Amino acid sequence: MTPPRRRLAIAFAALTLAGLTTACGAVGTAVDCNKVGQEVTAIMTDFNKSLANVATDPKALETAGSEAAEKVKKLAADYDGELASALNDLASGLEGMKIDAKNPTATMDSVQKMQGFTTKITSACAS
């Protein structure tokens, strides 16, 4: 090859490599988010199953929330940035779950916040 062609070939190879690296990063993020989604779904399914005992044991909500929060925190430790922040927010929300017989609205507010945490995780995966 002549020197100008060689430089063009090297530049093309560098640009191709940069594009593949970016694409792999996007694929990696998609895989991470898919894994996070599956794990959060499993954690929340276990949490929901634990709620069957709430009618007879009001503390079951706190226990289930604490157990789920620990699992989510452990998951968050594997990630960084917005995704870790969203997972840590979910863990905080789960830890704060309590049944207050004097203030049932507060309990419902806590439950409704779960949707916001899910939206935040989805948003972190979209960016």
Q: Which residue has the tokens 């049932």?
A: 104
Residue 29's pLDDT is what?
Answer: 54
Maximal C-alpha separation, the chain: 84
More confidently predicted of 4 and 111 = 111
Residue 106 φ/ψ, nearest 5 degrees: -65, -40
Distance of CA 102 to the CA centre of its chain: 32
Whole-angstrom Cα distance, residue 62 to residue 69? 10
Distance CA 93, CA 111 (A): 9
Per-residue confidence (pLDDT) for residue 56, from 0 to 100: 83
pLDDT digit string, tens, across residues 56-98: 887 888 898 899 999 999 999 998 888 899 999 999 988 887 7
